[in-house]
């Protein structure tokens, strides 16, 4: 099979297309012939040497893909050769084949083509597990997602809006803010020109928001807590703004608020399977009826993976970027 690995740590130029033996399914595993794979910011961090795959995982990049089942291991039920699906992975998506636990393969939502389906697993599982399973966002609550025009942001805006929340988001250009409004964000904030804490307070009569999904980490920590409402929940899923910051705990105590940091990639297979099952139950119907859709900026052939990474790194894209095997 063809696969993409990083030959050392560095820029997109270290990404190399190599030949690897075709995978064989172990007990409880499925082999997928990959049609498309989704890019994630974690892939850029891994390429730079900052985010190695979990112990025992492949060095082939990529954490989500779509394709057709080509082999089924023992103890697998509900899947057979020829079935189409999309998968949440620890690694291995940038390839023509990948083996994965059967519990992390999900059916393609009705009405979604197989290539576009590759844009769904990581964002759907990240948003559902963090915003709804962990933070418990409820209808009529207020929700702020940072980076609303990104892959996670575009999905979070739609899902929270579809389930009855009032959505706020930050974005870095007028075009990206317009996209966020089209997807269901009520209030969009230019993070380059505006203070999101002040905007949130102005639009909530000073109360703040109930749930925040944050990809920035340290640089936003104090302001995120300031923007929380009483009994608010901040979920940190990224560290683009650094890993260390000071926090005034008295603010957190007065608000009876919570700060939660989570990661999806390193979770045990059983937890990932439970998240995937919840996504199929709760999220896929909203995708099927058109309430939520995948936002795809562009697709690249697998051999042009360096160009795909360069586009993601530029920050000029909106939504997801895909790699395809044609």
Strand order of the β-sheet with 166-171 is: 187-190, 166-171, 142-145, 209-214, 228-236, 258-261
β-partners of residue 320 are: 296
Contacts of 3 (CB under 8 A, 6+ apart): 17, 18, 19, 20, 60, 92, 94, 95, 96
Tens digits of pLDDT across the chain (326 residues): 999 999 999 999 999 999 999 999 999 999 999 999 999 999 999 999 999 999 999 999 999 999 999 999 999 999 999 999 999 999 999 999 999 999 999 999 999 999 999 999 999 999 999 999 999 999 999 999 999 999 999 999 999 999 999 999 999 999 999 999 999 999 999 999 999 999 999 999 999 999 999 999 999 999 999 999 999 999 999 999 999 999 999 999 999 999 999 999 999 999 999 999 999 999 999 999 999 999 999 999 999 999 999 999 999 999 999 999 97
Residues ≥6 apart with Cβ < 8 Å to 150: 41, 215, 318, 319
* pTM of structure: 0.97
Nearest to 85 by CA among 260, 298, 280: 280
Q: Are 138 and 279 in contact (CB under 8 A)?
A: no
User: What is the distance of C-alpha 100 from the center of its chain?
Assistant: 18
Write the class of the CATH domain 124-261. alpha beta
Q: Other C-beta atoms within 10 Å of 174: how many?
A: 10
Sign of CA dihedral 290, 237, 266, 51: positive
* CATH code of domain 2-120+268-324: 3.90.180.10
Extents of the domains making up the chain: 2-120+268-324, 124-261
């Amino acid at each position: 099979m063809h696969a993409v690995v990083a030959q050392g740590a560095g820029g997109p130029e270290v990404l190399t297309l190599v030949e690897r033996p075709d995978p064989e399914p172990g007990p409880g595993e499925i082999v997928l012939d990959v049609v498309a794979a989704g890019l994630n910011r974690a892939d850029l961090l891994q390429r730079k040497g900052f985010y190695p795959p979990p112990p025992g995982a492949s060095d082939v990049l990529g954490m989500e893909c779509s394709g057709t089942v080509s082999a089924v291991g023992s103890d697998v039920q509900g899947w057979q050769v020829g079935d189409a699906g999309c998968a949440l992975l620890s690694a291995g998506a940038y390839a023509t084949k990948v083996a994965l636990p059967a519990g992390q393969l999900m059916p393609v939502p009705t009405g979604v083509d197989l290539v576009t389906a590759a844009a769904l697993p990581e964002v759907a599982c990240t948003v559902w597990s963090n915003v709804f399973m962990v933070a418990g966002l409820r209808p009529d609550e207020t929700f702020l997602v940072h980076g609303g025009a990104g892959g996670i942001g575009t999905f979070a805006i739609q899902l929270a809006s579809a389930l009855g929340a009032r959505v706020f988001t930050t974005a870095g250009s007028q075009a990206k803010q317009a996209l966020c409004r089209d997807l269901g964000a009520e209030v969009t904030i230019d993070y380059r020109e505006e203070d999101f804490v002040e905007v949130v307070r102005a639009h909530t009569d000073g109360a703040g928001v109930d749930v925040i999904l944050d990809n920035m980490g340290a640089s936003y920590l104090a302001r995120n807590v300031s923007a929380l409402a009483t009994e608010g929940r901040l979920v940190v899923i990224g560290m683009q703004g650094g890993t260390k910051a000071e926090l005034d705990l008295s603010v957190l105590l007065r608000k009876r608020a919570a700060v939660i940091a989570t990661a999806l990639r390193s979770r045990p297979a059983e937890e990932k399977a439970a998240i995937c099952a919840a996504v199929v139950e709760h999220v896929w119907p909203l995708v099927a009826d058109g309430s939520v859709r995948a936002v795809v900026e562009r697709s690249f052939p697998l051999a042009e993976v360096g160009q795909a990474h360069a586009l993601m790194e530029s920050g000029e894209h909106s939504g997801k970027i895909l790699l395809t095997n044609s």
